[in-house]
Amino acid sequence: MSRGFNIAIVGATGAVGQEIMNVLQERNFPVSDLKVLASARSQGKKLKYGDDELTVLEARPDSFQGVEIAFFASGAVSKELVPEAVKRGAVAIDNSSTFRLDPDVPLVVPEVNPEDVEKHNGIIANPNCSTIIFVVPLKPLHDAARVKRVVVTTMQAVSGAGKVAVDELLLQTRQVLDGEKVQPHVFDHQIAFNLIPHIDVFLDNSYSKEEMKLVNETQKILHDPELQITATTVRVPVLRSHSESINLETERELTADEAREILKGAPGIIVRDDPVNLEYPMPLFTSEKDGVFVGRIRKDHSRDQALNLWVVSDQLRKGAATNAVQIAELLISKNLL
Protein backbone atom coordinates (compact mmCIF):
# COMPACT_ATOMS: atom_id res chain seq x y z
CA MET A 1 0.00 0.00 0.00
CA SER A 2 2.41 2.64 -1.24
CA ARG A 3 0.00 5.46 -2.06
CA GLY A 4 -3.15 6.93 -0.59
CA PHE A 5 -6.61 6.35 -2.04
CA ASN A 6 -9.67 8.54 -2.35
CA ILE A 7 -12.37 6.99 -0.15
CA ALA A 8 -16.05 7.67 0.43
CA ILE A 9 -18.23 6.26 3.21
CA VAL A 10 -21.99 6.36 2.62
CA GLY A 11 -23.87 6.16 5.90
CA ALA A 12 -20.91 7.58 7.80
CA THR A 13 -23.06 8.75 10.71
CA GLY A 14 -24.47 5.26 11.40
CA ALA A 15 -23.03 2.50 13.56
CA VAL A 16 -21.36 0.58 10.72
CA GLY A 17 -20.14 3.77 9.02
CA GLN A 18 -18.54 4.91 12.27
CA GLU A 19 -16.88 1.51 12.68
CA ILE A 20 -15.50 1.69 9.13
CA MET A 21 -13.87 5.00 10.03
CA ASN A 22 -12.40 3.44 13.18
CA VAL A 23 -11.10 0.39 11.34
CA LEU A 24 -9.51 2.47 8.57
CA GLN A 25 -7.52 4.34 11.22
CA GLU A 26 -6.61 1.28 13.27
CA ARG A 27 -5.34 -0.64 10.25
CA ASN A 28 -3.46 2.39 8.88
CA PHE A 29 -5.39 2.16 5.65
CA PRO A 30 -3.80 4.45 3.05
CA VAL A 31 -6.35 7.26 2.79
CA SER A 32 -5.54 10.27 0.65
CA ASP A 33 -8.96 11.88 0.80
CA LEU A 34 -12.03 10.81 2.79
CA LYS A 35 -15.58 11.89 2.00
CA VAL A 36 -18.18 11.22 4.70
CA LEU A 37 -21.65 11.00 3.20
CA ALA A 38 -25.12 10.50 4.62
CA SER A 39 -28.74 11.55 4.09
CA ALA A 40 -29.71 15.19 3.70
CA ARG A 41 -30.79 15.41 7.35
CA SER A 42 -27.21 14.68 8.48
CA GLN A 43 -25.59 17.18 6.14
CA GLY A 44 -23.32 19.58 7.99
CA LYS A 45 -22.61 17.32 10.95
CA LYS A 46 -18.97 17.05 12.02
CA LEU A 47 -17.16 13.71 12.41
CA LYS A 48 -13.69 13.13 13.83
CA TYR A 49 -11.18 11.17 11.79
CA GLY A 50 -7.82 11.11 13.54
CA ASP A 51 -6.86 14.74 14.06
CA ASP A 52 -9.21 15.93 11.33
CA GLU A 53 -12.79 17.09 11.59
CA LEU A 54 -14.80 16.13 8.54
CA THR A 55 -18.08 17.67 7.40
CA VAL A 56 -20.85 15.28 6.43
CA LEU A 57 -22.16 15.85 2.91
CA GLU A 58 -25.39 14.61 1.37
CA ALA A 59 -24.87 11.40 -0.60
CA ARG A 60 -25.70 12.20 -4.22
CA PRO A 61 -24.65 10.68 -7.57
CA ASP A 62 -22.05 13.41 -8.12
CA SER A 63 -20.53 12.76 -4.67
CA PHE A 64 -18.42 9.95 -6.15
CA GLN A 65 -16.47 11.97 -8.67
CA GLY A 66 -12.79 11.14 -8.10
CA VAL A 67 -13.58 8.42 -5.52
CA GLU A 68 -11.67 5.14 -5.89
CA ILE A 69 -13.30 3.06 -3.14
CA ALA A 70 -16.83 3.68 -1.88
CA PHE A 71 -18.00 1.93 1.27
CA PHE A 72 -21.78 1.69 1.54
CA ALA A 73 -23.10 1.35 5.09
CA SER A 74 -26.64 2.59 4.50
CA GLY A 75 -28.88 -0.06 2.99
CA ALA A 76 -31.68 2.18 1.77
CA VAL A 77 -29.62 4.01 -0.85
CA SER A 78 -27.45 1.20 -2.24
CA LYS A 79 -29.77 0.31 -5.10
CA GLU A 80 -29.70 3.87 -6.38
CA LEU A 81 -26.21 5.09 -5.52
CA VAL A 82 -23.96 2.03 -5.91
CA PRO A 83 -24.36 2.05 -9.73
CA GLU A 84 -23.74 5.81 -9.71
CA ALA A 85 -20.47 5.32 -7.82
CA VAL A 86 -19.36 2.59 -10.22
CA LYS A 87 -20.31 4.73 -13.22
CA ARG A 88 -17.87 7.37 -11.94
CA GLY A 89 -15.00 4.91 -11.59
CA ALA A 90 -15.26 3.81 -7.95
CA VAL A 91 -15.30 0.24 -6.68
CA ALA A 92 -18.30 -0.09 -4.38
CA ILE A 93 -18.12 -2.31 -1.29
CA ASP A 94 -21.75 -2.64 -0.27
CA ASN A 95 -22.92 -3.73 3.16
CA SER A 96 -26.59 -3.97 2.19
CA SER A 97 -28.40 -7.08 0.94
CA THR A 98 -29.11 -5.45 -2.43
CA PHE A 99 -26.47 -7.23 -4.51
CA ARG A 100 -25.48 -10.20 -2.34
CA LEU A 101 -27.21 -12.88 -4.38
CA ASP A 102 -26.63 -11.24 -7.77
CA PRO A 103 -24.65 -13.86 -9.74
CA ASP A 104 -22.50 -11.12 -11.27
CA VAL A 105 -21.47 -9.66 -7.90
CA PRO A 106 -18.89 -11.43 -5.73
CA LEU A 107 -19.87 -11.97 -2.10
CA VAL A 108 -16.60 -11.96 -0.19
CA VAL A 109 -15.13 -12.89 3.18
CA PRO A 110 -11.36 -12.43 2.77
CA GLU A 111 -10.41 -15.39 4.99
CA VAL A 112 -12.78 -17.64 3.03
CA ASN A 113 -12.97 -16.72 -0.68
CA PRO A 114 -10.44 -13.94 -1.38
CA GLU A 115 -10.05 -15.02 -5.01
CA ASP A 116 -13.63 -13.94 -5.74
CA VAL A 117 -12.69 -10.24 -5.60
CA GLU A 118 -10.97 -10.75 -8.94
CA LYS A 119 -14.39 -11.28 -10.56
CA HIS A 120 -15.79 -7.90 -9.61
CA ASN A 121 -17.30 -5.53 -12.15
CA GLY A 122 -17.24 -2.55 -9.85
CA ILE A 123 -19.38 -3.97 -7.03
CA ILE A 124 -18.39 -6.30 -4.18
CA ALA A 125 -21.01 -7.33 -1.65
CA ASN A 126 -20.29 -7.63 2.06
CA PRO A 127 -22.25 -10.61 3.48
CA ASN A 128 -24.75 -10.43 6.30
CA CYS A 129 -23.11 -10.21 9.73
CA SER A 130 -24.31 -13.62 10.91
CA THR A 131 -23.12 -15.19 7.64
CA ILE A 132 -19.60 -13.78 7.99
CA ILE A 133 -19.32 -15.05 11.56
CA PHE A 134 -20.62 -18.46 10.42
CA VAL A 135 -18.44 -19.07 7.34
CA VAL A 136 -15.06 -18.12 8.85
CA PRO A 137 -14.88 -21.30 11.01
CA LEU A 138 -16.96 -23.37 8.59
CA LYS A 139 -14.56 -22.98 5.65
CA PRO A 140 -11.43 -24.67 7.11
CA LEU A 141 -13.51 -27.60 8.37
CA HIS A 142 -15.25 -27.83 5.00
CA ASP A 143 -11.85 -27.93 3.26
CA ALA A 144 -10.59 -30.62 5.62
CA ALA A 145 -13.55 -32.97 5.75
CA ARG A 146 -16.36 -31.69 3.44
CA VAL A 147 -19.25 -30.41 5.52
CA LYS A 148 -22.52 -31.99 4.36
CA ARG A 149 -25.10 -30.50 6.69
CA VAL A 150 -25.23 -27.73 9.28
CA VAL A 151 -27.76 -26.77 11.94
CA VAL A 152 -27.10 -23.27 13.24
CA THR A 153 -28.86 -21.15 15.84
CA THR A 154 -27.79 -17.53 16.07
CA MET A 155 -28.14 -15.34 19.15
CA GLN A 156 -27.94 -11.83 17.76
CA ALA A 157 -27.21 -8.67 19.73
CA VAL A 158 -29.60 -5.74 19.56
CA SER A 159 -27.00 -3.42 17.99
CA GLY A 160 -27.53 -5.42 14.81
CA ALA A 161 -30.82 -3.51 14.57
CA GLY A 162 -29.18 -0.12 15.08
CA LYS A 163 -28.71 2.46 17.81
CA VAL A 164 -32.47 2.76 18.38
CA ALA A 165 -32.52 -0.93 19.34
CA VAL A 166 -29.65 -0.44 21.80
CA ASP A 167 -31.51 2.50 23.34
CA GLU A 168 -34.68 0.40 23.58
CA LEU A 169 -32.92 -2.43 25.43
CA LEU A 170 -31.33 -0.01 27.91
CA LEU A 171 -34.61 1.80 28.48
CA GLN A 172 -36.62 -1.41 28.91
CA THR A 173 -34.06 -2.82 31.33
CA ARG A 174 -34.44 0.25 33.54
CA GLN A 175 -38.21 0.09 33.23
CA VAL A 176 -38.39 -3.56 34.26
CA LEU A 177 -36.06 -3.05 37.21
CA ASP A 178 -38.10 -0.02 38.31
CA GLY A 179 -41.38 -1.92 37.99
CA GLU A 180 -42.62 0.28 35.14
CA LYS A 181 -44.68 -0.81 32.15
CA VAL A 182 -42.67 -1.70 29.04
CA GLN A 183 -43.92 -0.57 25.64
CA PRO A 184 -41.94 -2.07 22.69
CA HIS A 185 -41.27 0.13 19.66
CA VAL A 186 -38.27 -1.21 17.74
CA PHE A 187 -39.05 -4.89 18.31
CA ASP A 188 -42.43 -6.60 18.21
CA HIS A 189 -42.04 -7.77 21.80
CA GLN A 190 -40.19 -6.71 24.93
CA ILE A 191 -36.49 -7.48 24.44
CA ALA A 192 -35.27 -6.83 28.01
CA PHE A 193 -35.00 -10.13 29.91
CA ASN A 194 -36.43 -11.91 26.86
CA LEU A 195 -35.49 -13.71 23.63
CA ILE A 196 -37.28 -13.13 20.33
CA PRO A 197 -36.99 -15.95 17.72
CA HIS A 198 -37.78 -13.55 14.90
CA ILE A 199 -35.37 -11.39 12.88
CA ASP A 200 -36.65 -9.74 9.68
CA VAL A 201 -39.88 -10.82 7.96
CA PHE A 202 -41.19 -14.36 7.75
CA LEU A 203 -41.23 -15.96 4.30
CA ASP A 204 -43.63 -18.45 2.73
CA ASN A 205 -41.45 -21.37 3.86
CA SER A 206 -41.91 -20.32 7.54
CA TYR A 207 -38.27 -19.28 7.82
CA SER A 208 -37.37 -15.64 8.38
CA LYS A 209 -35.53 -13.63 5.77
CA GLU A 210 -32.53 -13.46 8.13
CA GLU A 211 -32.44 -17.26 8.31
CA MET A 212 -32.55 -17.65 4.54
CA LYS A 213 -29.82 -15.03 4.11
CA LEU A 214 -27.54 -17.25 6.15
CA VAL A 215 -28.41 -20.29 4.03
CA ASN A 216 -28.21 -18.70 0.58
CA GLU A 217 -25.19 -16.49 1.23
CA THR A 218 -23.16 -19.34 2.72
CA GLN A 219 -23.82 -21.57 -0.28
CA LYS A 220 -22.71 -18.75 -2.61
CA ILE A 221 -19.54 -17.90 -0.65
CA LEU A 222 -18.46 -21.56 -0.45
CA HIS A 223 -19.53 -22.27 -4.05
CA ASP A 224 -21.48 -25.24 -2.76
CA PRO A 225 -25.22 -25.11 -3.55
CA GLU A 226 -25.56 -28.70 -2.28
CA LEU A 227 -24.49 -27.80 1.26
CA GLN A 228 -27.50 -28.39 3.50
CA ILE A 229 -28.09 -25.68 6.09
CA THR A 230 -30.99 -25.03 8.43
CA ALA A 231 -31.00 -21.94 10.61
CA THR A 232 -32.88 -20.32 13.48
CA THR A 233 -32.08 -16.68 14.23
CA VAL A 234 -32.86 -15.21 17.64
CA ARG A 235 -32.63 -11.65 18.96
CA VAL A 236 -31.18 -11.63 22.49
CA PRO A 237 -30.82 -8.88 25.14
CA VAL A 238 -27.10 -8.39 24.52
CA LEU A 239 -25.72 -5.04 23.38
CA ARG A 240 -22.97 -6.19 21.05
CA SER A 241 -21.48 -9.37 19.50
CA HIS A 242 -23.46 -12.18 17.91
CA SER A 243 -23.19 -15.78 19.11
CA GLU A 244 -23.87 -18.94 17.09
CA SER A 245 -24.39 -22.54 18.13
CA ILE A 246 -23.26 -24.68 15.19
CA ASN A 247 -23.76 -28.40 14.66
CA LEU A 248 -22.09 -29.71 11.52
CA GLU A 249 -21.88 -33.12 9.88
CA THR A 250 -18.90 -34.01 7.69
CA GLU A 251 -18.17 -36.64 5.04
CA ARG A 252 -14.92 -37.58 6.76
CA GLU A 253 -15.03 -37.95 10.50
CA LEU A 254 -13.13 -35.31 12.45
CA THR A 255 -12.25 -35.67 16.10
CA ALA A 256 -12.68 -32.66 18.33
CA ASP A 257 -8.90 -32.42 18.66
CA GLU A 258 -8.45 -32.46 14.88
CA ALA A 259 -11.06 -29.75 14.46
CA ARG A 260 -9.45 -27.68 17.21
CA GLU A 261 -6.04 -27.83 15.52
CA ILE A 262 -7.53 -26.98 12.11
CA LEU A 263 -9.29 -23.96 13.54
CA LYS A 264 -6.22 -22.80 15.44
CA GLY A 265 -4.33 -22.65 12.15
CA ALA A 266 -7.07 -20.89 10.19
CA PRO A 267 -7.00 -17.13 9.47
CA GLY A 268 -9.23 -14.83 11.46
CA ILE A 269 -10.04 -17.41 14.14
CA ILE A 270 -9.19 -17.28 17.83
CA VAL A 271 -9.78 -20.56 19.66
CA ARG A 272 -10.88 -20.17 23.28
CA ASP A 273 -11.70 -23.70 24.32
CA ASP A 274 -10.85 -24.72 27.88
CA PRO A 275 -14.17 -25.50 29.57
CA VAL A 276 -12.46 -27.05 32.61
CA ASN A 277 -11.14 -23.58 33.40
CA LEU A 278 -14.38 -21.93 32.26
CA GLU A 279 -12.76 -20.49 29.15
CA TYR A 280 -15.04 -20.11 26.13
CA PRO A 281 -16.14 -17.22 23.91
CA MET A 282 -18.71 -14.77 25.25
CA PRO A 283 -20.05 -11.47 23.87
CA LEU A 284 -18.76 -9.60 26.89
CA PHE A 285 -15.15 -10.33 25.93
CA THR A 286 -15.39 -10.34 22.13
CA SER A 287 -17.00 -6.93 21.65
CA GLU A 288 -14.86 -4.35 19.84
CA LYS A 289 -12.47 -7.08 18.67
CA ASP A 290 -12.01 -8.30 15.11
CA GLY A 291 -11.52 -12.04 15.52
CA VAL A 292 -14.06 -14.84 15.23
CA PHE A 293 -13.84 -16.66 18.55
CA VAL A 294 -14.53 -20.41 18.66
CA GLY A 295 -14.95 -22.71 21.65
CA ARG A 296 -16.96 -25.63 23.08
CA ILE A 297 -15.54 -27.78 20.26
CA ARG A 298 -16.84 -31.28 20.88
CA LYS A 299 -18.13 -34.40 19.22
CA ASP A 300 -21.85 -34.71 18.72
CA HIS A 301 -22.45 -37.89 20.72
CA SER A 302 -25.65 -38.57 18.77
CA ARG A 303 -23.96 -38.85 15.36
CA ASP A 304 -20.65 -40.39 14.29
CA GLN A 305 -19.47 -37.67 11.92
CA ALA A 306 -20.74 -34.53 13.60
CA LEU A 307 -19.29 -31.76 15.75
CA ASN A 308 -20.61 -28.92 17.86
CA LEU A 309 -19.03 -25.45 17.94
CA TRP A 310 -19.80 -22.26 19.83
CA VAL A 311 -18.84 -19.14 17.87
CA VAL A 312 -18.91 -15.48 18.93
CA SER A 313 -17.84 -12.32 17.10
CA ASP A 314 -18.53 -8.60 17.09
CA GLN A 315 -21.06 -8.15 14.31
CA LEU A 316 -20.24 -4.45 13.85
CA ARG A 317 -16.54 -5.23 13.43
CA LYS A 318 -15.81 -8.52 11.66
CA GLY A 319 -19.49 -8.90 10.84
CA ALA A 320 -19.52 -5.62 8.89
CA ALA A 321 -16.89 -2.88 9.03
CA THR A 322 -13.67 -4.88 9.35
CA ASN A 323 -14.72 -7.31 6.63
CA ALA A 324 -15.44 -4.38 4.30
CA VAL A 325 -12.03 -2.79 4.94
CA GLN A 326 -10.32 -6.17 4.45
CA ILE A 327 -12.01 -6.40 1.05
CA ALA A 328 -10.58 -2.99 0.17
CA GLU A 329 -7.13 -4.15 1.29
CA LEU A 330 -7.49 -7.18 -0.97
CA LEU A 331 -8.35 -4.96 -3.93
CA ILE A 332 -5.22 -2.92 -3.36
CA SER A 333 -2.94 -5.94 -2.83
CA LYS A 334 -4.22 -7.51 -6.06
CA ASN A 335 -4.06 -4.26 -8.07
CA LEU A 336 -7.75 -4.47 -8.83
CA LEU A 337 -8.63 -0.79 -8.55
DSSP lists the bridge partners of residue 57 as: 37
Q: Name the E strands within the chain.
A: 5-10, 31-38, 46-49, 52-55, 57-58, 69-72, 91-94, 123-125, 147-156, 228-235, 242-250, 269-271, 292-299, 306-313
Question: CB-hemisphere CA count at 13 Å for 5?
Answer: 26
Q: What are phi and psi of 52, to 5 degrees?
A: -95, 150
Catalytic residue among 129, 142, 223, 301: 129
φ/ψ of 257, rounded to 5, equals -65, -40
Catalytic residue check, 242 = yes
DSSP letter assigned to residue 321: I
Taken in order 211, 212, 216, 219, is the CA torsion positive or negative? positive
Radius of gyration from C-alpha coordinates of the chain: 20
Helix axes 209-221, 129-145, angle to 10 degrees: 40
DSSP H stretches of helix in the chain:
15-26, 78-87, 129-145, 163-177, 209-221, 256-264, 283-286, 322-333
In whole angstroms, what is the distance from residue 279 CA to residue 299 CA?
A: 18
Contact 95, 87 (CB under 8 A): no
**Which of 72, 110, 94, 113 has the alpha carbon at shortest distance from 220?**
113
129 is catalytic: yes
Distant-in-sequence, close-in-space partners of 83: CB < 8 Å, separation ≥ 6: none
Which residue in the list 120, 142, 242, 301 is annotated as catalytic? 242
> Which of the residues are catalytic?
129, 242
